[in-house]
Amino acid sequence: MVEPTETEAYPRHECGLFGVFGHPNAAVLTYYGLFALQHRGQESAGIVTSNGPGTSFLVHKDMGLVSQVFGRAELEKLKGTRAIGHTRYSTTGTSTIKNAQPFVVDCVRGQMAIAHNGNLINADLLRDELEHKGSIFQTTADSEIILHLLARPADNGTSVLSALRRIEGAFSLLIMSERELIAVRDPFGWRPLALGKLDGAYILASETCAFDLIHAEFIREIEPGEVLIIDENGLRSEFPFQPQQPAFCMFEYVYFARPDSIIGGVNVGKVRTEMGRELARKFPVDADIVIPVPDSGNYAALGFAEE
């Protein structure tokens, strides 16, 4: 396999999510998708694959960049038509292999895997409650709390949706069960998540730049508060959360996202360019050159210079 070239410097941003449902090369697509999202997390990378009901989940994850964690041998072992992948930047929990995602569990609901971008504000409360009920945590990441909630027995008809209602904060999630691939975005729409399609397969990614690398078609963004469920019958959406005033993280436009991604229907590079123009209009400077602070400042510097 020809590996993409990587740079020497690795700024820390946020986690990257990528998922595939219904493609024979799910692991390879996820590898390239994660590479396109490498800017969102450089500490660890992981992929979980499945062939559906009756088959075991296969997982490989380790510390390092995507091309360091995965080679041809690792990808060939990850058989399956479904996959979720994750690149991690630790916002909660230590930067160790035990906190590398996706997390996988075998529970009363069957096998489940989860990948998370965001932070929970009620993590300590939920962890204490779950530990008192007998849950044993293997990591220090708040993402594992979500997996424990999903994995618990369905008391009083508890569903995946009602388990998700218990978490608060910023979260974009990919959840893979034996039958479904589920995409979740918190009701504030804090972190991005998008849906695409390739050769009849559904693709999910934190940013649309990941679709471009594998030549997938961008369909739409996952809406704030939406739970998108993909199975053999197609797509269906649920909105189990109390609606909230949108509160998208502006730093995605400023710094986190790649400039060739589309977020909120707008090209990130164009937003940064316009920010530079607006800065020049409000605070003009008599100078010969404009120098950005690499790399997210490049487009803003161009906009400032053009204005």
Name the E strands within 16-168: 16-21, 44-50, 58-63, 82-88, 103-107, 110-120
Contact (Cβ atoms closer than 8 angstroms) between residue 87 and residue 38: yes
Encoded tokens for 226: 């939406």
Query: What CA–CA distance (Å, rounded) separates 206 from 147?
Result: 20
**Dihedral sign computed on CA atoms, order 199, 200, 201, 205:** positive
Residues in contact with 114: Cβ distance below 8 Å, sequence separation at least 6, in sequence order: 84, 101, 102, 103, 143, 146, 147, 150, 173, 174, 175, 176
Helix, strand, coil percentages, rounded to 5, for the chain: 30, 30, 45
SS3 149: helix
Region label for 116, one of left (φ > 0), alpha (ψ between -120 and 50) or beta (otherwise): beta
Radius of gyration of the chain (CA): 20
Query: What CA–CA distance (Å, rounded) separates 155 from 81?
Result: 32
> Is 209 annotated as catalytic?
no
SS3 172: strand
Contact (Cβ atoms closer than 8 angstroms) between residue 33 and residue 87: no
Residue in 15, 107, 209, 249 annotated catalytic: 15
Catalytic residues: 15
